């Protein structure tokens, strides 16, 4: 088989293969590639040494059986026999379910997680969204400090385990999305700088030197990350990728890396004849992220909408610190704005940033499924000091209102594991760094961050303490069917599947002018969601013109009268179907290409 490595600065490169050292030949083009041919089989250990340096794993190695720092192993993707053909499942119309393999079950493996897929299929979601699974130090961690973007974390089950999980998901009719990190690599076990200019000091990120996307040698660096993304989509039969913190991709080239990636993914979708998609995490509030390449956008198919989360969270909890401050001034109005226009900060002043922020989305040309809406995510739970979920301070009624707005609203909904039954399991920041100095630096940094905001150091969980991970393992209910909230989630998901068209425009929203009234009416396609967030007072809600059929209500709720008045109990929500009278924003007829993307 052929072994290749890009090492443009090396004068000599050797291949170490199963105890043998073989010289590698430079490519005749002089572009920095080295190659050697040798007999090898699936599982054979190997590595490369540049000049007189140590033997290091293959930067493009598909498997690290001994973890970061150990040798690579040959991986024969063709050796895995897929059991379930998969035609693919696109983004429009789906519901995402974010989970972390290491804490979704006590075992923390792909196979154990696969054993819970029946619950997700019965719940009614469309795609499982896995947090990063590339190799990282130790056994347990969030996965965002991975060091091998082509490989799979062995304690989870390695490449074969991921394939078994995806195959099991397909057997249940579920697609799979993977969270990938292109903006940095973890600091421990990262051997890329020994091979070439993978990083640059021209730009800096919160994690140190930036990935070299625009300096000398960046053609191969871009190809390295593009290749890993396409390999996961192709070799593991994934449906999409969630791109971590794309605002940290420092790229000054005329064609942005994301444009190149989205173009490559669209080409692969045509080649495989199944839909593929990209979802970006970005804090820029830049609508160009999801605008098509033909209109000079980056062409990413969707992006997370933190502004919707912040507005919803503030309206439910009343929190007003940090980035919640601007939303807390008029939380219901902020929530209404995000439902009708995606971004709250669309050029407005952000007190958190001390400047204007964002740009408006074109409602006439953009479909709402390009924005992912959620009440919880790993970030918004795990980056809190104690990793506490909304179910800790909020009542079940308030959680039910949030679910109605997320699941029957205009955006592509996303759930975070366990929220469907109101899990109170904390999800805390945990690491398993093997380098004592790095472990202490992470521990000290976490303490410094939160004690500066008034937390007592004794209250804060130690990221390196195994108990922190153990506390974060999802506690599954013994009898989930008895959870009223779970029944509500299933009901809402069934309503969404039956009544909401795939190509939704943004919602039309009516917010009571009196913020203290805490009433909101959302018209999304043919559905109307009415919520009363007041914990004490019932409310008369005006639904608007047309007839309405009551589909679901969180508490006892009589159907609306002929004048469109609906009575809601405190902290309750109702979902109604509007009569087909030509009112409402409906779908997106005549825009098939936009819906497909």
pLDDT along the chain (597 residues), means of 10: 96 95 93 96 97 96 94 96 97 97 98 98 98 97 96 98 98 98 92 96 87 97 98 98 97 98 98 98 97 97 98 97 96 97 97 97 95 98 96 97 98 98 97 93 92 91 97 90 90 97 91 87 96 93 88 90 89 92 42 45
Judgement on whether residues 206 and 298 belong to the same structural domain of the protein: yes
CA distances from 489 to 49, 120, 401, 504 (A): 54, 11, 11, 21
Domain boundary among 497, 529, 551: 497
From 281, 307, 326, 512, the catalytic residue: 281
* Residue 46 forms part of a structural domain: no
* Residue 247 forms part of a structural domain: yes
Judgement on whether residues 123 and 253 belong to the same structural domain of the protein: yes
Query: Residue 566 is part of a domain; what is its CATH number?
Result: 2.60.40.1180
Q: Show Cβ contacts of residue 424 under 8 Å, excluding neighbours closer than 6 positions.
A: 389, 391, 392
- Pull the structure tokens for residue 349: 């002043």
Q: Contact at 8 Å (CB) between 247 and 284?
A: yes
CA 330 – CA 122 distance, rounded (Å): 37
Decide if 244 is catalytic. yes
Tell me the torsion sign for CA atoms 333, 339, 340, 344: positive
Give the chain's domain count. 2
CA 277 – CA 284 distance, rounded (Å): 20
Judgement on whether residues 529 and 455 belong to the same structural domain of the protein: no
Query: Residue 235 is part of a domain; what is its CATH number?
Result: 3.20.20.80
Phi and psi, residue 397, nearest 5°: -65, -45
- Pull the structure tokens for residue 264: 């490559």
* Residue 51 forms part of a structural domain: no
- Pull the structure tokens for residue 350: 């952000």
* Residue 37 forms part of a structural domain: no
CA 539 – CA 559 distance, rounded (Å): 14
What stretches of 408-489 adopt beta strand conformation (E)?
412-416
**3-class secondary structure, 517:** helix
Judgement on whether residues 418 and 483 belong to the same structural domain of the protein: yes
Judgement on whether residues 483 and 523 belong to the same structural domain of the protein: no
**3-class secondary structure, 59:** coil
Looking at residue 371, its pLDDT comes to 98
Q: Show Cβ contacts of residue 278 under 8 Å, excluding neighbours closer than 6 positions.
A: 240, 241, 242, 243, 258, 261, 262, 265, 300, 301, 302
Judgement on whether residues 512 and 486 belong to the same structural domain of the protein: no
CA 429 – CA 439 distance, rounded (Å): 13
Looking at residue 457, its pLDDT comes to 92
- Residues facing residue 532 across a β-bridge: 519, 572
* Residue 139 forms part of a structural domain: yes
Q: Show Cβ contacts of residue 384 under 8 Å, excluding neighbours closer than 6 positions.
A: none
CA 62 to chain centre: 23
Pairing, β 539-542 against β 565-568: antiparallel
Judgement on whether residues 453 and 525 belong to the same structural domain of the protein: no
Q: Show Cβ contacts of residue 164 under 8 Å, excluding neighbours closer than 6 positions.
A: 110, 111, 114, 157
Judgement on whether residues 507 and 492 belong to the same structural domain of the protein: no
Nearest CA among 138, 127, 104, 122 for reference residue 176: 127
CA distances from 386 to 68, 318, 379, 457, 533 (A): 29, 18, 12, 11, 25
Residue range of the domain that includes 283: 96-497
Looking at residue 590, its pLDDT comes to 36
279-288 residues labelled b (16+ CB within 10 A) or e (exposed): bbbbbbbbbb
- Please tell me the total number of residues recorded for the chain in this structure: 597
Q: Contact at 8 Å (CB) between 261 and 229?
A: yes
Domain boundary among 457, 476, 497: 497
* Residue 510 forms part of a structural domain: yes
If DSSP states are collapsed to H, E and C, what string results for 433-454?
CCCHHHHHHHHHHHHHHHHCCC
Burial class (CB in 10 A: 0-12, 13-18, 19+), 528: buried
101-135 residues labelled b (16+ CB within 10 A) or e (exposed): bbbbbeebbbebbbeebebbeebbbbbbbbbbbbb
Please report the DSSP string for 205-269 in residue order: ETTEEEE-SSSTTHHHHHHHHHHHHHHHHHHT--SEEEETTGGG----SSS-HHHHHHHHHHHHH
Judgement on whether residues 521 and 460 belong to the same structural domain of the protein: no
* Residue 446 forms part of a structural domain: yes
Phi and psi, residue 155, nearest 5°: -60, -25
User: ∠ at Cα 470 (466, 474), nearest 5°?
Assistant: 155
Nearest CA among 500, 514, 552 for reference residue 530: 552
Phi and psi, residue 565, nearest 5°: -95, 135
Burial class (CB in 10 A: 0-12, 13-18, 19+), 558: exposed
Q: Contact at 8 Å (CB) between 8 and 32?
A: yes
Judgement on whether residues 380 and 263 belong to the same structural domain of the protein: yes
Q: Contact at 8 Å (CB) between 111 and 164?
A: yes
- Pull the structure tokens for residue 388: 């506490």
From 145, 214, 244, 595, the catalytic residue: 244
Q: Contact at 8 Å (CB) between 288 and 325?
A: no
Judgement on whether residues 339 and 482 belong to the same structural domain of the protein: yes
Domain boundary among 497, 521, 548: 497
* Residue 569 forms part of a structural domain: yes
Looking at residue 57, its pLDDT comes to 97
**3-class secondary structure, 132:** coil
CA 465 – CA 468 distance, rounded (Å): 6
Judgement on whether residues 462 and 389 belong to the same structural domain of the protein: yes
């Amino acid at each position: 088989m052929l072994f290749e490595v890009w090492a443009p600065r090396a004068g000599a490169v050797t291949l170490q293969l199963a105890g043998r050292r073989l010289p590698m030949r430079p490519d005749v083009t002089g572009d920095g590639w080295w190659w050697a041919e040798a007999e090898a089989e699936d599982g054979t250990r190997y590595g490369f040494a540049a000049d007189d340096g140590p033997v290091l794993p293959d930067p493009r190695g598909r498997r690290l059986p001994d973890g970061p720092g150990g040798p690579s192993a040959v991986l024969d993707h063709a050796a895995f026999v897929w059991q379930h053909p998969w035609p693919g499942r696109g983004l429009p119309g789906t519901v995402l379910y974010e989970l972390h393999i290491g804490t979704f079950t006590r075992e923390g493996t792909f196979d154990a997680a696969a054993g819970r897929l029946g619950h997700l299929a019965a719940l009614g979601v469309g795609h499982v969204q896995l947090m990063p699974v590339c190799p990282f130090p130790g056994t347990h961690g969030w996965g965002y400090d991975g060091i091998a973007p082509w490989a799979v974390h062995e304690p989870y089950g390695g490449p074969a385990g991921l394939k078994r999980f995806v195959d099991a998901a397909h057997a249940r009719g579920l697609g799979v999305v993977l969270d990938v990190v292109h903006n940095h690599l973890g600091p421990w076990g990262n051997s890329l700088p020994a091979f070439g200019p993978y990083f640059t000091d021209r730009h800096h990120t919160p994690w140190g030197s930036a990935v070299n996307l625009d300096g000398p040698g960046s053609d191969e660096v871009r190809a390295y990350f593009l290749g890993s993304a396409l390999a996961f989509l192709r070799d593991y039969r994934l449906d999409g990728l969630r791109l971590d913190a794309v605002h940290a991709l420092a790229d000054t080239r005329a064609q942005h890396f994301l444009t190149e990636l989205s173009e490559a993914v669209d080409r692969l979708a045509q080649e495989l004849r199944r839909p593929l998609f990209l979802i970006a995490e970005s804090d820029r509030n830049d609508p160009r992220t999801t605008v098509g390449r033909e209109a000079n956008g980056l062409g990413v198919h969707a992006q997370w909408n933190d502004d919707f989360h912040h507005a919803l969270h503030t309206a439910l909890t009343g929190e007003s610190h940090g980035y919640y401050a601007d939303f807390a001034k008029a939380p219901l109005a902020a929530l209404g704005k995000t439902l009708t226009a995606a971004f709250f900060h669309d050029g407005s002043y952000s007190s958190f940033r001390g400047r204007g922020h964002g740009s408006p989305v074109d409602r006439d040309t953009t479909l709402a499924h390009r924005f992912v809406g959620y009440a919880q995510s790993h970030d918004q739970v795990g980056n809190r000091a104690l990793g506490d979920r909304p179910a800790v301070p909020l009542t079940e009624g308030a959680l039910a209102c949030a679910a109605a707005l997320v699941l029957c609203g205009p955006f592509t909904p996303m759930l975070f594991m366990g929220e469907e039954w109101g899990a109170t399991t904390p999800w805390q920041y945990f690491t398993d760094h093997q380098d004592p100095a790095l472990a202490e630096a992470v521990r000290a940094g976490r303490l410094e961050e939160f004690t500066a905001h008034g937390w007592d150091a004794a209250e804060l969980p130690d990221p390196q303490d195994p108990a922190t991970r153990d506390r974060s393992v999802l506690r599954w209910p013994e009898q989930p069917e008895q959870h009223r909230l779970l029944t509500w989630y299933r009901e809402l998901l069934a309503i969404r599947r039956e009544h909401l068209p795939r190509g939704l425009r943004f919602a039309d929203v009516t917010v009571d002018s009196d913020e203290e009234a805490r009433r909101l009416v959302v018209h999304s396609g043919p559905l109307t969601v009415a919520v009363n967030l007041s914990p004490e007072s019932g409310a008369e809600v005006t639904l608007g013109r047309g007839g309405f059929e009551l589909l679901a209500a969180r508490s006892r709720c009589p159907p609306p009268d002929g004048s469109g008045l609906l009575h809601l109990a405190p902290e309750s929500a109702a979902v109604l179907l509007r009569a087909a009278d030509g009112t409402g924003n409906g779908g997106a007829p005549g825009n098939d290409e936009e819906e497909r993307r």
